[in-house]
Copies of this chain bind each other. A is one copy, B any other.
Amino acid sequence: MSYTFIRGGVTAPQGFTANGVCAGVKQATSDAITKANKANESAVIPNGKRDLALIACDKICTAAAIFTKNLVKSDTITVTREHLQNGRAQAVIVNSGNANACNPDGYEKAAAMGRLAADALGIDENDVLVASTGVIGQPLPLAPIESNIGRLKNLLSKDGGTNAAEAIMTTDTVKKEWAVQTVIGGKTVTIGGIAKGSGMIHINMGTTLSFVTTDAAISADMLHEALVAAADVSYNMVSVDGDTSTNDTLAILASGYAGNTEITTKNEDYALFLEALTAAFQAVAKQLAADGEGATKLLICQVSGAKDTQAAKTIAKSVICSSLVKAAMFGADANCGRVLCAIGYSGAQVDDVKKIDVAYASAAGDILVCQNGCGLAFDEAKAEKILLENEITIRITLGDGDGQAEAYGCDLTYDYVKINGDYRT
């Protein structure tokens, strides 16, 4: 392990500043819904919640991003993709409270939002990445962004990263930021990030908005390769509710200030960078799952002994996605049938279901509940004690091969239903 987690977020790497303010996008969108869906372009009284974030670098960075696989996409993704064609970027503007998805004027407004940030920063509009998160199918109110971008630009600072993390939250209950350091070619490289995500989280880059900065010198191509590889074992292994959003974006900007020799191939330096990035992303994945809408518990499903890695991944994801497993974990019910069931319908090849073992583990101990595919007599009181903890590992061992994988999820609770029974207003 060659990396160290440190305090901080997107402003930890050299060259980056950020901040987040309450511009009133959330309030204007909510007002518009109660007034029969007409976007409120007049002055709004902000509700106090930060909803506009800006991240900027003092130089042009190499950059890469990956996006939702949903066919129904926010137009902000189209704009960001266009701006990233040259593999460079200098700033990111993000609003919460309105996804700017499924709107007739979505593209124009996403482009205008990027332009507002570029003008305020005095940079090329093509160097601004744009992202939105919130309600789908509601016109994006631009006025709050227009009237607050100047103030936000003036607030950009090294201390503002936490406010940016707060400004991209929707139903999240905790803000997510992280920073990690590693040494590449004798130079200290810092990577930092913020993320949001709570509901509509699933295993196809079904993630969230996540913005990552680094001072590593690394080409746009290698940044993209590293993003994909790290996301594959982190963001792509998280599920809260099986729904993939229209706006998922994971973007990274690299300033090069660390002074390492630029990474342009998959060499040892790349491996070090990827190791740190992957560790950070897996930590974020757990944070996202633990903060799943209504969640009271983080669930980690560890699969080993599967036919191959793919089978292990498929099984881990199937278990973590099962509504019945999730509800049983909420109720601290050590039901092994639901886990076996989710393995059986996962679609993964299982050579011998009579070789499956299932155990539950937490800070309170561990207990085997299924051996050789059959339910075991176990101590119910002990099992309940284990399952009452807030981080539960479901450990599945198969007898098919060497494949292993880990997936992250959360329990299904009354509050998930409550939050999603009336999300818009």
Q: Which residue of B lies closest to A105 (CB)?
A: B374
Copy number in this complex? 2
Cβ of A136 and Cβ of B246 under 8 Å apart? Answer: no
Residue from B103, B136, B341 in contact with A341 in the complex, judged by beta carbons closer than 8 Å:
B136
Binds B, one of A34-42, A114-122, A189-197, A214-222: A34-42
Cβ of B340 and Cβ of A102 under 8 Å apart? Answer: yes
Chain B residues near A372 (CB, 8 Å)?
Answer: 104
Q: A residues 377-425 with Cβ under 8 Å of B?
A: 377-380, 412-414, 416-425
Cβ of B337 and Cβ of A135 under 8 Å apart? Answer: yes
**A117-157 to B contact mask, C-beta < 8 Å, 1/0:** 00000000000000000011110000000000000000000
With A36-B379, A322-B242 as contacts: A421 and B333 at CB distance below 8 Å: yes
Cβ of A373 and Cβ of B72 under 8 Å apart? Answer: yes
Cβ of B241 and Cβ of A344 under 8 Å apart? Answer: no
A71 within 8 A of B: yes
Cβ of A337 and Cβ of B246 under 8 Å apart? Answer: yes
Q: How far is the CA of A382 from the CA of B12 in the complex (A)?
A: 50
Q: How far is the CA of A219 from the CA of B369 in the complex (A)?
A: 45
**A325-338 to B contact mask, C-beta < 8 Å, 1/0:** 00110111101111
Chain B residues near A337 (CB, 8 Å)?
Answer: 99, 101-102, 135-137, 246
| A interface secondary structure, majority | loop
**A149-186 to B contact mask, C-beta < 8 Å, 1/0:** 00000000000000000000000000000000000000
Q: How far is the CA of A246 from the CA of B335 in the complex (A)?
A: 14
Cβ of B34 and Cβ of A370 under 8 Å apart? Answer: no
Cβ of A331 and Cβ of B137 under 8 Å apart? Answer: no
Chain B residues near A244 (CB, 8 Å)?
Answer: 341, 344-345
Q: How far is the CA of A251 from the CA of B417 in the complex (A)?
A: 36
Cβ of B345 and Cβ of A70 under 8 Å apart? Answer: yes
Cβ of A73 and Cβ of B36 under 8 Å apart? Answer: no
CB distance from A186 to the nearest CB of B (A): 45
Q: How far is the CA of A127 from the CA of B425 in the complex (A)?
A: 59
Q: How far is the CA of A104 from the CA of B425 in the complex (A)?
A: 53
A323 within 8 A of B: yes
A204 within 8 A of B: yes
A375 within 8 A of B: yes
Residue from B71, B322, B377 in contact with A343 in the complex, judged by beta carbons closer than 8 Å:
B71
A243 within 8 A of B: yes
Chain B residues near A418 (CB, 8 Å)?
Answer: 414
Q: How far is the CA of A374 from the CA of B412 in the complex (A)?
A: 31
Cβ of B341 and Cβ of A377 under 8 Å apart? Answer: no
A353 within 8 A of B: yes
Residue from B37, B202, B413 in contact with A417 in the complex, judged by beta carbons closer than 8 Å:
B413
Q: Which residue of B lies closest to A104 (CB)?
A: B374
Chain B residues near A36 (CB, 8 Å)?
Answer: 377-380
A69 within 8 A of B: yes
Residue from B72, B136, B206, B323 in contact with A243 in the complex, judged by beta carbons closer than 8 Å:
B323
Cβ of B243 and Cβ of A103 under 8 Å apart? Answer: no
CB distance from A51 to the nearest CB of B (A): 18
A272 within 8 A of B: no
A199 within 8 A of B: yes
A33 within 8 A of B: yes
Q: How far is the CA of A330 from the CA of B341 in the complex (A)?
A: 27
Chain B residues near A103 (CB, 8 Å)?
Answer: 374-375
Cβ of B344 and Cβ of A246 under 8 Å apart? Answer: yes
CB distance from A178 to the nearest CB of B (A): 27
CB distance from A252 to the nearest CB of B (A): 24
Q: A residues 43-89 with Cβ under 8 Å of B?
A: 69-73
Q: How far is the CA of A370 from the CA of B246 in the complex (A)?
A: 15
Would you give 6 A-B contacts (Cβ < 8 Å), ordered by A?
A: A71-B344, A99-B337, A101-B337, A245-B341, A330-B417, A333-B422
Instruction: Give me 5 other A-B pairs in contact (C-beta within 8 A), A36-B378, A101-B337, A413-B417 excluded.
Output: A33-B380, A104-B374, A246-B337, A323-B416, A323-B420
- In the complex, the 4 A-B pairs of residues with the closest C-beta atoms, listed nearest first: A137-B375, A136-B337, A331-B421, A72-B344
